[in-house]
């Protein structure tokens, strides 16, 4: 017997509320576990990004259609999380601000508006990232390629911004911060390749006491290591 075609099943309003409750439950657990920074993942084709994207959101209720409606899940989730996460600790989000397709500028201008709303809602910083909401995206991979988008977000929203993706060099990272293009640089693979990246960066940038960026036991040993 042929199998039935796969049809997407939309979340009910009860599903949405339950999921938002799960976000705040997780935030509460993170707080009790001692975390001092919470980042909500609203990027990379995850659920919140799918609510925001015109590509994936086909809803006809209050969570679909207009930008206000597509942003509702994100704003409500932030509000829910803020019921448990204290004002004194950073609350940040990761958002894919740009869909690299033929409507890229539209997705970017929509993201800017949503980020202004999220800033009003109490988000402290946006980790500017990829949307991954449509298979047609042509991502311009290359060194530092997300920095100009993050810089535009910073200028147009007044939010603090971070970004990652192919930022490898200490000089580049330092320049992006010093020139006020980014507030933070995030690294992933450079740190996998070299867990002491920050120490080597501090040395390269000729920062006094570069070992101060390390935990004391590592600092003691690495300080005495002949570095080329």
Q: Binders of ligand FMN among 45-104, rule CB under 6 A?
A: 94
Q: Does 187 bind ligand FMN (CB under 6 A)?
A: yes
Helix 104-120, helix 147-157: angle, nearest 10: 50
Residue labelled with tokens 């940038």: 205
Query: Residue 96 CB, nearest distance to ligand FMN (Å)?
Result: 10
Helices (H), 66-215: 67-82, 104-120, 147-157, 170-178, 189-193, 197-204
* Contact region with ligand FMN (CB under 6 A), list: 11-19, 134-142, 162-170, 211-219: 162-170
Among 165, 170, 199, 201, binds ligand FMN (CB under 6 A): 165
> Which H or E element spans position 126?
strand 125-130
Residue labelled with tokens 């600790």: 89
Query: Residue 26 CB, nearest distance to ligand FMN (Å)?
Result: 14
Among 49, 53, 57, 190, binds ligand FMN (CB under 6 A): 190
Q: Which residues of 14-40 are buried (b: 16+ CB within 10 A; e: fewer)?
A: eebeeebeebbeebeebeeeeeeebbb
Q: Does 149 bind ligand FMN (CB under 6 A)?
A: no
Q: Does 184 bind ligand FMN (CB under 6 A)?
A: no
Comparing CB distances to ligand FMN, the nearer of 91 and 211 is 91
**What residues pair up with 92 in beta bridges, in sequence order?**
39, 125
- φ, ψ at 209 (rounded to 5°): 55, 55
Q: Is 148 helix (H, G, I), strand (E, B) or coil?
A: helix
* Contact region with ligand FMN (CB under 6 A), list: 20-28, 74-82, 186-194, 214-222: 186-194
* Contact region with ligand FMN (CB under 6 A), list: 79-87, 110-118, 184-192, 193-201: 184-192
Among 44, 54, 82, 196, binds ligand FMN (CB under 6 A): 44
Residue labelled with tokens 């993050």: 150
Interface contacts to ligand FMN, rule CB under 6 A = 41, 44, 94, 164-167, 187-190, 192
């Amino acid at each position: 017997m042929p199998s039935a075609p796969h049809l997407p099943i939309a979340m009910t309003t009860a599903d949405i509320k339950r999921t938002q409750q799960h976000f705040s439950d997780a935030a509460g657990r993170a707080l009790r576990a001692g975390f001092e920074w919470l980042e909500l993942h609203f990027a990379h084709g995850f659920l919140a990004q799918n609510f925001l994207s015109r590509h994936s959101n086909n809803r006809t209720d209050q969570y679909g259609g207009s930008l206000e409606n597509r942003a509702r899940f994100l704003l409500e989730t932030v509000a829910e999380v803020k019921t448990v996460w204290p004002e004194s600790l950073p609350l940040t989000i990761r958002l894919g601000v740009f869909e690299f397709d033929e409507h890229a500028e539209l997705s970017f201008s929509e993201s800017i508006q949503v980020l202004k709303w999220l800033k009003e809602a109490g988000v402290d910083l946006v980790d500017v990232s990829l949307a991954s909401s449509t298979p047609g995206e042509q991502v311009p991979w290359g060194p530092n390629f997300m920095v100009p988008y993050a810089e535009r977000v910073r200028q147009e929203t007044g939010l603090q911004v971070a970004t990652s993706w192919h930022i490898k060099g200490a000089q580049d990272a330092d320049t992006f911060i010093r020139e006020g293009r980014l507030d933070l640089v995030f690294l992933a693979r450079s740190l996998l390749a070299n867990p002491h990246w920050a120490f080597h960066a501090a040395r390269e940038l000729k920062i006094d006491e570069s070992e101060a960026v390390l935990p004391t036991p590592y600092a003691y040993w690495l300080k005495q290591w002949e570095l080329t």
